[in-house]
Amino acid sequence: MQFLTRLFASAATATILAASPVQAQTDSLTHLTQQFLHYTQQTLPEKLYLHVDRPLYMSGELLWFKVYAVDGTFHKPLAMSRVAYVEVLDKNQRPVLQTKIALAKAAGHGSFTLPSSLPSGAYTVRAYTSWMKNFGPDFYYHTTVRVVNPGTSLGLKLARDSAAYDVQFFPEGGSLVQGLASKVAFKVTNRLGHSVPATGTVVNEKGNLVGEFTTHRFGMGHFMLTPAPGSSYTALVQLPNKRVVSRTLPTPLAQGYVLSLQSSGSEQLTLTVTTNDQGRPTEDILLLGHAGQRVAASGIIRLANGTGQYTLDKKALPDGVTHFTIFNARKQPLAERLYFTQPRRSLSIAVKPDKSQYAGREKVTLQVSTTTEAGAAQAANMSMTVYRLDSVSATAQPAIGGYYWLASDLRGTVEQPDYYLTHTGPEAETAADDLMLTQGWSRFTWSEVVKGRPNLPYLPEINGHLVQALVRQQGNGQPAPGISAFLASPSRLVRTFNAISDNSGLLRFETHDLYGDKTVTLQTSALKDSTYQFEILNPFSTTFRTTASRIPTPLSAADQQALLERSLATQTQRAYFGKLLTRFTPLPVDSVPFYGKANEHYRLDDYTRFKVLEEVMREYVPGVQVRMRKDRFHFMVLDNLNHVIFQDEPLVLLDGVPVVDLNRLMKMDPLKIQALDVITAPYFQGTMRYNGIVSYITYQGNLADFQFNPHVLLQEYQGLQQNREFYAPRYATPEEKQSRLADLRNLLYWKPELVTTTGGSETVEFFTSDQAGKYVVEVQGLSASGRSGSKRIFFDVKPAL
């Protein structure tokens, strides 16, 4: 594998230290294992899976999705991150849509409205958390959807083979080494990323034939090659269009190691290490195998005459992808090999419709049950989509099990990952091994493991969305450390967040209940007015994976009728049900202010209304004394706990936003203020201490035209997405069935929260539309024990007579 070639080349050619005693090597192996475990404890892997409701959309439609969050080792629900970031990227990996999804109990759901102006094409939907940004974009979830814009172009193209093909070769273990037999895997794809069959030959620099090969499944295969000293090799590949292309194989190393893996019957695996360094009669090689945070195998391979073996039991390996890495005595990685074990545990989902065929506007009843692989009832959290199949939407999205156990641990897009989880036998084993050889990768580098200090600039959002900002000094733009600052959004729901900048001037505000598009304010502590510069940072990832997404097969003229039907259905839905598609579920937010119940609460409408705020404060609020010093107003709050008056200013809020300049506040029309809260005691929020709180609340919670100091940063900010309600008409009565509104829904049903209890069964009901055809029911799900599963069934809707 090319990335391993770079990683191991320097270590493989390094001078080997003199042989150490066996005990010393054992100590080195133990220390390496401990370093790995220590590293993984600091870098808990987190994975996301997105269940997207359909593979194809018309512009203007809604894209629905469900987010599942698990740990990267056992794939059990992991309620660590409270926020997931979901984006839609165009072909140039530029985000066209972005949103933040609240996660509760390791799951969340949301939607995108695809703009009517969105061009036709293939788009990548990716999802990640803040914590996952520490490990790079290759570890994010990616899937591809197609969007068709009938207003600009239907995206129809002639179905033809492309002249552009990608052919890559991957030596087993990472490198070819002169004089050592190596397995060389290869993969052939077209410009869309789809696998294609091919045959080929391998010739040396003299043009002499040294090998032949042919693809197996999914455009992959392998052959054996023993590089001769001083030789170079070229592969001549014959493609489906009969064109022959040449590709240069990786340059063999003059000295190095080869790691090979063979299946020794049905029960055992044998790892073989060979080297062409004959300078020493014996050498000890350290072996460490791991899957996620688990150590799968460890041992010492004693090389004699340049070769050594290590045998292990297949049953002892964990489910999923296991990484085997060998090291020299200095803990330098020499080679790496991946092996896939089919998951032994799974979630079995059964979906039983009450009928196999339905009429238009007829109720469909589905019985959904979930069991373990042994048939025992199993509670599960699932999501369900039901949509019409046609020639443009026949491709299914990757299933949750195939992603978690396989695709999430491999580089690039895995073609039909479910195949490797459901098929057995020699052909399936060969296909899985070829996949490990061609798309294997490591989530980390071993130098960081040995060093023991991983670079983790992004924190997990364990309590809520972290809004990050930089504070700099005015004029020179240098970071301003140790600065207290407030972040707030005007609202009748009083929420104020504070932070103190670190040495780099970074502020982290841990927010909650920050939903929807907001106007946020950012300013320094009320104790010190200043002219510091603020910049709110973009929370979305700005790095992108280097491997291309797999592009769906181009649409052809044969798909035109299906696309026209979809376009008509979309326009009809917007015309008849447009308002019903924009309803949002009310948020179950806590209406209590962040400071709790106030010591003093005043509803100003209960009093004679004055026209000057100073009079209101002096006449009705005995807990706050108003003072004038140096032409500026000051508040002094009574400390009821100690029966004294605070000498320093309290925290003053207007609709939850801190107010520094009280002169501006006192000019405000008190008739715009509905209520006033006073905290007459010290209040601690995070690391800050307030000498009481004075909180004004306007009728609309919109600051009532209050003008802030110009030094306060006001900015639009996208909070967490509110949950949109899925709408589908019901036809439970004869009158509803006789409605003259055309119902041309392609998506009949979307349920992001389908939960089976300990009994493992749930009933789902919905109604068909006026569109006849074949419909698919797709269910994805996950149990608390980490069992994942999916199910697809079909039913027909017959045409109206």
> How would residue 390 be classed by pLDDT, with cut points 50, 70 and 90?
confident
Tabulate helix, strand, coil % of the chain (nearest 5): 15, 40, 40
Q: Are β-strands 244-248 and 233-238 bridged in parallel, bridged antiparallel, or unpaired?
A: antiparallel
> How would residue 793 be classed by pLDDT, with cut points 50, 70 and 90?
very high
Q: What is the pLDDT of residue 586?
A: 78
Query: For residues 288 and 327, what is the distance between their CA atoms, to the nearest angstrom?
Result: 8
> How would residue 11 be classed by pLDDT, with cut points 50, 70 and 90?
very low
At residue 483, φ and ψ (nearest 5 deg) are: -95, 125
Taking 80 as the threshold, does the pLDDT of residue 115 lie above it? yes
Coil, strand or helix at 19:
coil
> How would residue 441 be classed by pLDDT, with cut points 50, 70 and 90?
confident
> What are 338's strand-pairing partners?
323
Q: What is the pLDDT of residue 191?
A: 83
Taking 60 as the threshold, does the pLDDT of residue 9 lie above it? no
Q: Which fold has domain 1-40+164-341?
A: Immunoglobulin-like (2.60.40)
> What are 569's strand-pairing partners?
none
| The dihedral sign for the CA sequence 21, 23, 25, 31 | negative
What predicted TM-score, i.e. pTM, was given to this entire model?
A: 0.92
Q: What is the pLDDT of residues 195-237, one digit of tens each?
A: 999 999 999 999 999 999 999 999 999 999 999 999 999 999 9
Q: What is the pLDDT of residue 21?
A: 54
Whose tokens are 């064109």? That residue is 243
Query: For residues 209 and 437, what is the distance between their CA atoms, to the nearest angstrom?
Result: 24
H helices then E strands: how many in the chain? 10, 47
CB-side neighbour CA atoms (13 Å) of 423:
14
Contact 178, 204 (CB under 8 A): no
If phi over 0 gives left and psi between -120 and 50 gives alpha, with beta otherwise, what is residue 668? beta
Residue with the bigger pLDDT between 208 and 293: it is 208
Taking 60 as the threshold, does the pLDDT of residue 315 lie above it? yes
Looking at the chain, the domain(s) classified CATH 2.60.40.1930 span 1-40+164-341
Q: What is the pLDDT of residues 713-728, one digit of tens each?
A: 999 999 999 999 999 9
Coil, strand or helix at 356:
coil
> How would residue 245 be classed by pLDDT, with cut points 50, 70 and 90?
very high
Q: What is the pLDDT of residues 736-783, one digit of tens each?
A: 999 999 999 999 999 999 999 888 899 999 999 999 999 999 999 999
Residue with the bigger pLDDT between 325 and 447: it is 325
Taking 90 as the threshold, does the pLDDT of residue 464 lie above it? yes
Query: For residues 50 and 588, what is the distance between their CA atoms, to the nearest angstrom?
Result: 24
H/E stretch holding 40:
helix 22-42
User: Which segments of 640-732 are extended strands (E)?
Assistant: 644-645, 651-654, 657-658, 673-679, 683-685, 688-690, 693-698, 713-718
If phi over 0 gives left and psi between -120 and 50 gives alpha, with beta otherwise, what is residue 95? beta
Taking 50 as the threshold, does the pLDDT of residue 15 lie above it? no
